[in-house]
Structure 1
Amino acid sequence: MTLTNPNLEGYSIVRNFWLKYYNPSKQTFIAPKKCSGCYNDDRFVVWAVAVAAQAVVDGARIYPELRPLVPTACRIFQKYKNNHLRGFSAAENGGNDKDIYYDDDAQVASAFITAYEVTGDKYFLDQGRELVRFLMGGWNNNPNAKTKGGMCWHVTNHYLNACTTAEVAKVCLQLSKFIPSEANYYVEFAAKCIDWQIAVLQDPGDKLIKDGVQDTSDQINDTKWTYNLGTTLSSAAHLYQITKDKKWKKIADDLANAGINRGVFFYDRDYSDDKRYWRDSSYFVQLLIEGLADYLLYVGDEDNGDLPQRIHEEIRRHLVMFYEYMRDPQDGLYLQSFEPHLTYKETYETKYKQEFGDRKNWDLKEEDRDDRHQPQKCLMGCAAAARVFFQGARVVPEIPK
């Protein structure tokens, strides 16, 4: 089999992970066996649920037969809600747990807002608006902080990180489209987030986004993940589309070029240029692909030379590689790895060695294996895989045989 229709592959993954993980009697996702993303023996953290719900919504946008699943998927979030703070905790709770991560909740908010966009059900818009208002309260206003500004990672941990800051900006911009009377409020907050991100966390050399900094420190964690660039790119491109301020286009152009520069940190550079690939797990890469797709949607080909075509080609070849190396032909579900040697042993022997040689030894990532070192899939990996294909299809809707 070869990949020809990324949207259809995304649909197939959603269908298969729903059948595997959704338990109608428990009205939530249940792991058949403890796996990556479980906080106990069988329940998933809210981050995994958010990615799964977003994958369902992405699919429902294309395939109407998935729309009945949207309310069911989004209803699961209520098991995680703190009814006093109005945020969502990492684990299911009785309504008072304060283990709340702003970046996780930004992905919950995105699922609610896009659910409204797809279904027109105002309940989802109200939930998204309430959650975005909660998220905006996570801005670092501590006058004694060594690093000023930025979004906090957790309600009790003021690590100011890229993913939270950009993801909150992203959902503010999503929400601004649907509440015109409040739009300026959300757009201005998003602009404040991305201004901080670029000033504090962008590397002026390679234009990648560093991970974050504790508010009590000025020593930046300079790890550069794909999703930090992807979410910042989504926000900058959307800000340009709304404001037409060339400042945002310049930022978006730089980020888009950096995202497909095969010489930067998050590519595996152990190979020749033509074989280099994004080496983060799929739950990070899906947000880079979304950012690149948003760039083409919101900025397009305005004075950008061959950049749109290069983005198209980079996404195309990564979709093909992910499909060929991480898909289990038995159930159509995916591992979380994006690295072709960290896959099924048979795939390594029959495909990897032929395409890449034997430069890297076979293994499985810890998050992709059970206690017997056998491949093990999880809700997060399957949901992220669906999003890889749905978001990639916005740029590459068809792949010729």
Structure 2
Amino acid sequence: MSFPPLENPNFEGYQVTRQMWLEYYNSHEGTFYARKKCNGCYDDHRFVVWAVAVAAQAIVDGARIYPELKPLIDPAIQIFQRYKNKQIKGYSAAENSGNDRDIYYDDDAQVASAIITAYEVTGDKKYLDQGRELVRFLMSGWNNNPNAKTRGGVHWHVSKNYLNACTTAEVAKACLQISKFLPQEAGTYIEFAANCIDWQIQVLQDPGDKLIRDGVSDNDTKINDVKWTYNVGATLSAAAHLYFVTRDQKWKQIAEDLANAGINRGVFFYDRDYDDSKRYWRDPSYFNQLLIEGLADYLLFVGEEVPRDLVERIHEEIQRHLIMFYEFMKDPKDGMYIQSFEPHNTYKEVYDTKYKKHFGDRKGWGLKGEDKDDKGNPAKCLMGYGAAARVFFQGARVVPHIDPYQF
């Protein structure tokens, strides 16, 4: 099967979202259900809450643009209740009877974002109530241990000492999202978000390349130096939003530094085995979608104050990655996506026909473990579908239309 060049990223996101629903939503079970075990399943058929959050966010993102997706919002958001700990109001990694404590604050921040966006799109107050309750729980994850070697930051898990970049930024992002709809409480959420991003910059930002390092334990001072795209993206979203609501120039500068870092082809998360013109984000789609969202949020919240050359470079980089993702990671048989963003870790026929043409034989063909089944064949999953849809929906905020191109 051959596909025409990518023209309308929003429509591509719609197609993926629609197929995701047909493939994974089981109306009898009232949840997303895998017909065959795949990445993101915690047993043979059910998905961890992180995968559900990405899928639900794709649905509400799409429903902003395509009203025919709105009927899917309520059953998708309702799935989260199967994961909820009714005592502490957080959402466990797995479906449970209401008292499981395997709860990750970063997963729950993505759940909160999906629920709050559902309120934005539908106006249904029950989502606002659910979002508020969950954001209040998220704020309880702040590290206020007076004996901690590293103070501040939001914990990764309710029972672990690790302070995550993604958790801290995503909680800040959720606080800022809900502040818009609760004006009497807005100051509390904005102040908490500001503390999160202050901590992120002071403790985890590399002063050299401006990327955000992964995290640190509260009982240590040694920072995990791994730098993922989504840590930059989520921090950028929050910093830009903070500038929008406070007009404090500090946040604008932080956001500009992060935006420049996110599209700097010489930094850690680009594949630098190639010449500059062919470098790409090598993280998986479920991380890269948050960097794309961060760049789009930056352009939205900072607006006309973004330097003109930076606007153009962000547009170019997002368009380039949308085209690459579409051309290399789209299944020639059914048009859906695996999670890889690396053009050599793709379908064999795509590697043989496209990779070699554009990149030569610099890297050998292979599939990442999360993109293949137990027999080594390509395998897709709920997370991959949701992340792919979000890559296109978020990318379309910056690049709504792509002119004809040769590939």
CA distance in 2, matches of 1:282, 1:250: 27
Map 1:133-152 to 2 at 5 A: 133-152=136-155
Per the alignment, residue 200 of structure 2 pairs with 197
Map 1:276-315 to 2 at 5 A: 276-302=279-305, 304-315=307-318
Q: How many residues align?
A: 401
Q: Name stretches of at least 5 consecutive residues in structure 2 with no aligned partner.
A: none
CA distance in 1, matches of 2:221, 2:247: 33
Post-superposition offset of 1:333:
1.2
Code of the residue aligned with 2:81 in structure 1: it is Q
Post-superposition offset of 1:222:
0.4
Per the alignment, residue 162 of structure 2 pairs with 159
Map 1:1-400 to 2 at 5 A: 1-302=4-305, 304-400=307-403
CA distance in 1, matches of 2:16, 2:362: 31
CA distance in 2, matches of 1:240, 1:73: 32
SS at match of 1:43: coil
Q: Name stretches of at least 5 consecutive residues in structure 1 with no aligned partner.
A: none
CA distance in 1, matches of 2:41, 2:265: 34
Code of the residue aligned with 1:269 in structure 2: it is R
CA distance in 2, matches of 1:333, 1:122: 34
Code of the residue aligned with 2:140 in structure 1: it is G
Q: C-alpha offsets along residues 252-292 of structure 1, whole Å, 9 cap, x if unaligned?
A: 00000000000000000000000000000000000000000
SS at match of 1:395: coil
SS at match of 1:67: helix
SS at match of 1:160: strand
Q: C-alpha offsets along residues 183-229 of structure 1, whole Å, 9 cap, x if unaligned?
A: 00000000000000000000000000000001110000000000000
SS at match of 2:269: coil
CA distance in 2, matches of 1:301, 1:122: 33
Q: C-alpha offsets along residues 134-183 of structure 1, whole Å, 9 cap, x if unaligned?
A: 00000001111110000000000020010000000000000000000000
Code of the residue aligned with 2:319 in structure 1: it is R
SS at match of 1:82: coil
Q: In 1, are the aligned partners of 2:142 and 2:152 still within 8 Å (CA)?
A: yes
CA distance in 2, matches of 1:80, 1:363: 35
Post-superposition offset of 1:304:
1.2
Q: In 2, are the aligned partners of 1:233 and 1:291 still within 8 Å (CA)?
A: yes
SS at match of 1:292: helix
Post-superposition offset of 1:300:
2.1
Code of the residue aligned with 1:359 in structure 2: it is R
Q: In 2, are the aligned partners of 1:16 and 1:331 still within 8 Å (CA)?
A: no
SS at match of 1:181: coil
Code of the residue aligned with 2:124 in structure 1: it is D
CA distance in 1, matches of 2:44, 2:312: 45
Q: Which 4+ runs in 1 deviate beyond 4 A?
A: none
Q: In 2, are the aligned partners of 1:12 and 1:332 still within 8 Å (CA)?
A: no
Code of the residue aligned with 2:296 in structure 1: it is A
CA distance in 1, matches of 2:161, 2:190: 23
Q: In 2, are the aligned partners of 1:169 and 1:190 still within 8 Å (CA)?
A: yes
CA distance in 1, matches of 2:304, 2:38: 43
Q: TM-score, normalised by structure 2?
A: 0.98
CA distance in 2, matches of 1:123, 1:2: 41
Q: In 2, are the aligned partners of 1:176 and 1:184 still within 8 Å (CA)?
A: yes
CA distance in 2, matches of 1:339, 1:289: 16
Code of the residue aligned with 1:92 in structure 2: it is E
Moved more, 320-329 or 289-298: 320-329
